[in-house]
Amino acid sequence: MRFSIWLVLFVLVAGCALMGCSTFSAPTPTLAFVTRTFTPTLAPTATFTPPPTSTPTRQPTATVTPPPTFTPTRLPPPTATPFPGWKKLESATIEVWAPSHFVGGDPLKDKDAIVKSLRALGPEYVNSYNVVEQHADLFLLYALDPQVGSTGLLTTFSVTFNRLLPSGLMDQTQSGVAWQLPRQTILLDSRNVALHYAAERRVVDAVAHNNLVRYLVYTIKSTNYAWVLVFATPENEFYTRLPIFEQIALTLRIKQ
């Protein structure tokens, strides 16, 4: 048995040598590389949304409106007296209606009649008629009630034309109102009212000849000028006469 094995081995070796067999070697293992394809996952691209453009709201431009130039409307004369027993008093630029017992009118044209009425009241009224005689050009209209009360003080009303300063105040150096009102007065009331024109209304007190005088003052302003209507009466007669004063003021017309 052992001899048979050796014989077979010998025959194999010899045959291989005769046939030029190459050296038998174990096969070289082939490395197989599995290539993995990497597909990167793209992160979502951030989309930039610009903030909304703020469109500023344009503020309206302030429009400076210059004050209107006041031009009184010329009105036709009334066809009838506003109240029974009243009469019209007028000058070239002003007209009012007043109870018929009032004496007055245009101091330039009717000065003699006004002064005569004042002189008839007595020498104590010399200051009043001196004002009318010497400063008639300052008044557009002047009237008085010859019915004098217990105090002996006159009841009058007058209209003057006055220049306004840029501040809106009256120029006292060229103002007829300086002859209508004392320098020292006490203001009792002030308000805006509607006559035929818009007006400022004031009530003031002042002392004259040791008696208290009360004044009702209406001021009608334009851009550069003012018309001033002043009623003067003893303080103790003021409220009795006030309705008449207010009715007279309502009839005032500026003729231009």
Which pLDDT score, from 0 to 100, does residue 22 have? 47
Is residue 200's pLDDT more than 90?
A: yes
- Model pLDDT for residues 121-147, shown as the tens digit of each residue: 877 777 777 787 777 888 899 998 988
Strands 225-234 and 155-163, by their bridges, are antiparallel
DSSP label at 256? -
Mean pLDDT of 195-211: 91
Q: How large is the average pLDDT for residues 188-196? A: 94
Tell me which of 110 and 187 has the higher pLDDT: 187
Q: Does 163 have pLDDT greater than 90?
A: no
The domains of the chain are located at 86-254
The pLDDT value recorded for residue 73 is 42
Give the DSSP letter string of 82-150.
Answer: SSTTEEEEE-SSEEEEEETT-EEE-TTTSHHHHHHHHHHT-GGGHHHHHHHHH-GGGEEEEEEE----T
Phi-psi region of 248 (alpha: psi -120 to 50; beta: other; left: phi over 0): alpha
Q: Is the pLDDT of residue 78 over 50?
A: no
Tens of pLDDT along 53-67? 555 555 545 444 444
pLDDT grade, residue 76 (50/70/90)?
very low
**Averaged pLDDT, 26-47:** 49
**pLDDT tens profile 87-129:** 999 998 999 999 999 988 898 888 888 888 888 887 777 777 7
Write the class of the CATH domain 86-254: alpha beta
Q: Are 104 and 96 in contact (CB under 8 A)?
A: no
Q: How far is residue 88's CA from residue 99's CA, in Å, rounded to a whole number?
A: 9
Share of the chain above pLDDT 90, in %: 33
